[in-house]
Amino acid sequence: MRKSVARIYLKNLEFNYVNLRKKGNNRKVMAVVKADAYGHGMVRCVEHLEKLTNKPEYYGVALVEEAIELRNSGVTSSPILSFGPIDFEDIPILLENQIIPTVCTKEHIEFLSDYSGKELKIHVNIDTGMGRLGLPYIKAFDLIKRISENKSIVLDGIYTHLACSDENDKSYSKLQLMRFGNIVEKLKNNGIKYGVAHAANSGAVLDLQDSYFDMIRPGISLYGYYPSKDTSESVNLKPVMELCSVVSTTKKIPQGESVSYGRTYIAKQDIVSGTIGFGYADGYNRQLSNRGKAFIQGRTVNQIGRVTMDRIMFDLSEISDSENKEIILLGKGNTQKFDAADWADICNTIPYEITCNISKRVPREYIV
């Protein structure tokens, strides 16, 4: 059996959640657990959050299938919102599993205005400037008013998605919040019950208190990462995932000889190369070739040669008796760290992509 594993520290997940909830002034929380909880394992993460005294009021997923997986895992009472646009063919499944779909087009409104079946809860997505999904904010009030008149439809919530909350310049986010806030006020003033209003993704939770409305909606921050270097670090977070493996073999590489495909690494002196059973098929991005680091026996070591599908190599010249010893590929050493944010810097991407791309063939080990 392979010895590579992703350790998921559930206490760190709880720590992040509690701190984010406090930052949100104890507003309701929708824990975003889509994409298998950003690669951390949706079911086990939710199981842990469900045990908390002050557990999340909602869970957010991208797909109806994800919501069904949560229901089948035993999450029977907590509301689950699917961010994906409603598919009318799914209404029986939504009702059976008590899944809340997203309504985001005029066509959705028109169809549901004539809906007369079993009571259906919905959330309405309002496009205030993301330009992806949602009712145009200019028309949103009239459309929401129309659907609110159907007694078979329960308007459980309205929300918007901020396009630039993780950027240093908050002016566009403030414009979006003003547009959304105006709709919320107009609904209130007209006596239209809209359920919970939510807009605060991770970046907004950190830096935009005006975005909190009735509920905050943290995603990547739950798993221990700030959305970008431009956000504040106003909430103390701990990474939830650690990637570990063992050194499977070592080999002496003479000066002038190469390691791995393409000969991108040439030994400048005699070295000892150690191979690890982990590669890009596991989520170790090829952009980390000759740039990655790891921790073993309290020492930092450098990745050498091109990352391959199933194996990576490190210069272990300074490590004695390294075979079968644990090596930390993502996480912390004694005083060092090399986490998803560091990987993201090298790969010119974001921590979200790093954790989501740790593949299913890497076993998750859950530590409470």
Residue 211 and residue 327 in one domain: no
Catalytic residue among 11, 139, 261, 360: 261
Q: Residue 102 belongs to what domain range? A: 10-223
Residue 215 and residue 254 in one domain: no
CATH number at residue 358: 2.40.37.10
What is the spatial distance between Cα 88 and Cα 230, in angstroms, rounded to a whole number?
A: 40
Q: List pLDDT tens digits, range 164-218.
A: 999 999 999 999 999 999 999 999 999 999 999 999 999 999 999 999 999 999 9
Catalytic residue among 34, 121, 170, 293: 34
pLDDT, residue 256, reads 98
Residue 179 and residue 264 in one domain: no
Residue 201 and residue 322 in one domain: no
What is the spatial distance between Cα 327 and Cα 340, in angstroms, rounded to a whole number?
A: 16
What is the spatial distance between Cα 358 and Cα 360, in angstroms, rounded to a whole number?
A: 7
Q: What angle do CA 39, 27, 214 make, to 5 degrees?
A: 100
Judged on CB neighbours under 10 Å (0-12, 13-18, 19+), 341 is: middle
- The H or E element containing residue 292 is none
Residue 26 and residue 54 in one domain: yes
Regarding beta strands 293-296 and 299-304, do their DSSP bridges make them parallel or antiparallel, or are they unpaired? antiparallel
Q: List pLDDT tens digits, range 5-44.
A: 999 999 999 999 999 999 999 899 999 999 999 999 999 9
CB neighbours (10 Å) of residue 182? 14
What is the spatial distance between Cα 234 and Cα 354, in angstroms, rounded to a whole number?
A: 23
Residue 246 and residue 279 in one domain: yes
If you write DSSP's letter for every residue of 305-368 in order, what string do you get?
S---SS-EEEE-TT-SS-TT-EEEEEEE-SS-EE-HHHHHHHHTS-HHHHHHTS-TTS-EEEE-
Is residue 290 in a domain?
Answer: yes
Is residue 176 in a domain?
Answer: yes
Is residue 351 in a domain?
Answer: yes
Q: Are 152 and 116 in contact (CB under 8 A)?
A: yes
Q: What is the CA radius of gyration of the chain?
A: 24
Residue 40 and residue 138 in one domain: yes
Is residue 233 in a domain?
Answer: no
> Looking at residue 284, what DSSP letter applies?
-
Computed over every residue of the chain, the mean pLDDT equals 96
pLDDT, residue 288, reads 98
Per-residue pLDDT tens, the chain, 368 aa: give them. 788 999 999 999 999 999 999 999 989 999 999 999 999 999 999 999 999 999 999 999 999 999 999 999 999 999 999 999 999 999 999 999 999 999 999 999 999 999 998 999 999 999 999 999 999 999 999 999 999 999 999 999 999 999 999 999 999 999 999 999 999 999 999 999 999 999 999 999 999 999 999 999 999 999 999 999 999 999 999 999 999 999 999 999 999 999 999 999 999 999 999 999 999 999 999 999 999 999 999 999 999 999 999 999 999 999 988 988 999 999 987 788 999 999 999 999 999 999 999 999 999 999 99
Residue 111 and residue 208 in one domain: yes
261 in catalytic set: yes
Q: Are 312 and 276 in contact (CB under 8 A)?
A: yes
What is the spatial distance between Cα 328 and Cα 109, in angstroms, rounded to a whole number?
A: 51
CATH number at residue 83: 3.20.20.10
Percent above pLDDT 70 for the chain? 100
Regarding beta strands 120-127 and 135-136, do their DSSP bridges make them parallel or antiparallel, or are they unpaired? parallel
What is the spatial distance between Cα 79 and Cα 75, in angstroms, rounded to a whole number?
A: 9
pLDDT, residue 333, reads 78
